[in-house]
């Protein structure tokens, strides 16, 4: 079994994954890092060279290969829910936790991030986050088994909540 973390970028997936790994003894696999390794270039360059569809194709390949393992925490990129094929693979891999945060918290956390190109083009940063998040919320909700708010909470508290949820879901 794996543990899958989904949510918009800036909701704390990577940080919570590291904390959760300490509690569970699982390996953390960042799908975005795997994509970068496989492509041999940073995400903005992948998107510039291949477009978003090409990036999503690569993401789908990485998702399949990483979800095939066991004892992993899969730290998924925010757009992994854009393709149903990814959702099917992740759902079969283990429980899916959707990490949420307010638009304001997300903007504060990621406004200096230059590793992701714009998803909407010319919109303001806050408008882009709001627009993309509104489109993805139903997809996150559909895929997830659990929803966990990260606003105003420490990564260790969030990881402890996820670990407790896993224990309560496990057969005795």
pTM: 0.88
The model's pLDDT over 117-159, given as tens digits with 9 standing for 90+, comes to 445 555 567 787 888 888 999 999 999 999 999 999 999 999 9
Residue 29 lies in a domain: yes
Residue 171 lies in a domain: no
In a domain, 111, yes or no: yes
The edge-to-edge listing of strands for the beta sheet with 96-100 is: 27-30, 72-75, 3-6, 96-100, 146-149
Q: How many domains does the chain have?
A: 1
* Per-residue model confidence as pLDDT tens digits over 28-86: 999 999 999 999 999 999 999 999 999 999 999 999 999 998 999 999 999 999 999 99
Beta pairing, strands 3-6 & 96-100: parallel
Q: Residue 121 carries which DSSP code?
A: S
Per-residue DSSP letters for 59-70? HHHHHHHHHTSS
For residue 11, give the CATH number of its domain.
3.40.50.300
Look at residue 89 and tell me if it is in a domain: yes
Name 6's bridge partners: 98
Q: Are 141 and 96 in contact (CB under 8 A)?
A: no
Nearest to 55 by CA among 83, 88, 91: 83
């Amino acid at each position: 079994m794996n543990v899958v973390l989904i949510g918009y970028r800036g909701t704390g997936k990577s940080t919570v994954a590291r904390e959760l790994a300490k509690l569970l003894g699982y390996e953390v696999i960042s799908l975005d890092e795997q994509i970068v390794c496989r492509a041999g270039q940073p995400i903005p360059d992948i998107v510039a060279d291949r477009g978003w569809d090409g990036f999503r194709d690569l993401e789908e390949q990485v998702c399949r290969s990483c979800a095939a393992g066991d004892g992993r925490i899969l730290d998924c990129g925010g757009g992994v829910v854009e393709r149903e094929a990814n959702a099917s693979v992740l759902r079969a891999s283990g429980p899916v936790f959707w990490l949420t945060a307010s638009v304001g918290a997300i903007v504060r956390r990621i406004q200096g991030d230059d590793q992701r190109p714009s998803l909407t083009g010319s919109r303001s940063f806050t408008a882009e986050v709001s627009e993309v998040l509104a489109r993805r919320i139903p997809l996150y909700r559909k895929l997830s088994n659990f929803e966990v708010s990260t606003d105003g909470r420490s990564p260790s508290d969030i990881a402890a909540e996820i670990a407790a949820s896993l224990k309560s879901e496990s057969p005795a």
